[in-house]
Amino acid sequence: MREVHILDPSMVYRPDISDEEKKKLGIFQETNFRPENQDEDAFRIYEHNEQVKKTYTLMHTHQTYEFVQRKHAQWLTFSKAKMTVMEGLEFLNSLIDESDPDTDVPNIYHAFQTAERIREKHPDKDWFHLVGLIHDLGKVMAIWGEPQWCVVGDTFPVGCAPDPSIVYGLESFQDNPDMKNPLYNTKLGVYDDKCGLERVLISWGHDEYMYRLLLHNKCKIPDAGLYMIRFHSFYPWHTSGAFKYLCNDKDEEMSKWVTEFNQFDLYSKVDKLPDIDKLRPYYQSLIDKYCPGVLEW
């Protein structure tokens, strides 16, 4: 299997947010991989800032309402592969995160780390543990040739005007054709006030793909877990409080679960690597309970 290098511009290293702002949001991490703890030769984060900006520029330029509709038509036939969830996790290991200085650690460790953090704090919510394990599985799209700006990064609604809180701001949308279309460039665009996020088309990425895959395969994860998977990259909403005018009462209620999830998703390199062989039987039992058998991808 070929290796695919993938850049995941997480909140921890967001180039547009200062350390002070990150501290207020509770996402600042003291780590050996920060600039002040690295010599010039060993440090890799800064060299990716332009790459991050390029990814977002491409995303904000090309992800239009009609583009996302085409992506739904392309990917939601679920004809790429047939795999179990555990096979999907192993398949994901051919992805290498270019924003991750520790590229020797396979992606599967992050999945188990996230799940185990959740399990420690929420021992009685087994579905939540499973969500931590599978939340990034949609990134397999990159292995099948989807460009990074259609896989990773912060998501946002299409079909209406962007919000200034979106990473790199409104100027990053200046070449997006929808910004010149009066059908799409107003506050509500094609939507009604308080229509609910279920009726909103979200920019295409691994979150939306995995959410739709779970629905297609009739997985039994509760609504709160599905919201976590679909919206964990929707930072303008759950972190900045934007687009509330599109949300209904259910969205507001579920937002607390998405916020709860995201604290566990922020990747800390100081975490001890989990013993996957020891943990695998427990998580396989959760897969059998909520997402059993071979799934269509």
Q: Say what the pLDDT of residue 263 is.
A: 87
Dist. CA 158–CA 75, nearest whole Å: 18
**In this model, does residue 273 exceed pLDDT 50?**
yes
For 55, counting Cβ atoms within 10 Å of its Cβ (0-12 exposed, 13-18 middle, 19+ buried), the class is buried
8 A C-beta contact, residue 118 and residue 132: yes
Query: Residue 30 pLDDT > 80, yes or no?
Result: no
Chain segment 250-269, per-residue pLDDT in tens: 999 999 999 999 988 865 44
C-alpha 125/C-alpha 216 separation (Å) is 23
* Residue 294 DSSP label: P
Contact 173, 162 (CB under 8 A): yes
Strands 95-97 and 295-296: unpaired
Residue 232, helix vs strand vs coil: coil
Whether the per-residue pLDDT at 190 is higher than 80: the answer is yes
The C-alpha angle with vertex 222 and arms to 254 and 279, in degrees rounded to 5, equals 115
Query: Residue 49 has which token pair?
Result: 């800032």
Residue whose structure tokens are 């100081």: 270
| Centroid of chain to Cα 162 | 18
- What are the tens digits of pLDDT across the range 63-104? 999 999 999 999 999 999 999 999 999 998 877 544 333 345
Q: Show the tokens assigned to 104.
A: 């020797």
What's the pLDDT score for residue 137? 95
Choose among 157, 144, 291, 150: nearest CA to 231: 157
- Assign 33 a pLDDT band (cuts: 50, 70, 90): very low
In this structure, what token pair is assigned to residue 161? Answer: 């005007």
